[in-house]
Structures are given as C-alpha cells and as structure tokens.
Amino acid sequence: MLMLHSVARLLPLSLLLLSATCQQRRPAKAIPMKQLEGTWLVSREENSGDTLVYRPNTYTFPPSRGRTGFAIGPAGRFEQFDIAPTDGLAGRSGTWTAEGNTRLHIHITEGEEPDYTLEIISLDKDKQVLKVRRLP
C-alpha cells in the first residue's frame, strides 16, 4: 500500500518532466529576404552542432587562417566563398531561390557541387548574427 501511494505521488511529477522534454520545435519566424542581402562569413567559433553562425564581412573577427562564407544579392544572385590556396577567398557564382519563408535553395553554377538548402534559424541585424542550418 505504501508503494502504491509513493507511485501516485511521483506520477504528476513524471508527467510534468515528460511534457517538458517533448516540446515541439517552434517553426522559424519568417525572414524578409531583403534583410539577408550582403556578404556573410562563418564565425566557426560560435557554431553549435548543426547550427552555423555567420556574421557580416565587416564584423571584427578573431584571427583566422581564412573564413568561408557567401554573398546574397538581389534577384537571386549568390556567390559562395571558399578558402583559396593563398588563404584568401575564392568566389563561385550561383543562384538562390526562396523555399517558403525560411529556406533558400542554393545552386552553384561554377563547379560540380550539388545543390543545397540553407534553413534560416534566426537573423538579428542589431547583433550582426545570422544562424542557419545547411541541408542537402
């Protein structure tokens, strides 16, 4: 009888903990595509798991041997920046198209890289930070 009473007391607590861990991921807030325009470089020191953090190319980054990134332009223009052999940046042209309110489909027209999607997690222009997830 004592054991049944203990289980009955723990049940509400267990349900509360279970519901807290089973929260659904909130859908990302729609990002006006115009706000994404500009040149963004990876801030790999801030990356976490599959979340990639980018900052404007005017941001004061800590020293690095090079940073990859991209430029989003109007009318679907896109340029991907890779680290060049001399530690500078080598750009490759491409295009972007919006997929809903929070995704960009990227097609690199130079080279043979497969298309990919950038899922916009958040954009804070005041803090100069763009967080994305790269999807195949």
pLDDT at 34: 87
What is the domain-level CATH number for residue 79? 2.40.128
User: 133: closest CA among 50, 69, 38, 70?
Assistant: 50
pLDDT at 86: 81
* DSSP codes, 40-108: EEE-GGG-BTTBEEEEETTS-PPP-S---EEEE-GGGEEEEEEE-TTSSEEEEEEEEEEETTTEEEEEE
Residue 110 is predicted with a pLDDT of 84
| Angstrom distance (rounded) from CA 126 to CA 59 | 12
For residue 4, the model assigns a pLDDT of 47
Distances (CA, A) of 94 to 59, 83, 100, 105, 127: 24, 17, 19, 10, 27
Q: Across residues 109-123, what is the average pLDDT?
A: 92
Q: What is the pLDDT of residues 16-63, one digit of tens each?
A: 333 444 444 444 567 778 899 999 999 999 999 999 999 999 999 998
Q: How many structural domains is the chain composed of? A: 1
pLDDT tens per residue across span 50-93: 999 999 999 999 988 889 999 999 999 999 999 988 878 899 99
CB 92 within 8 A of CB 108: yes
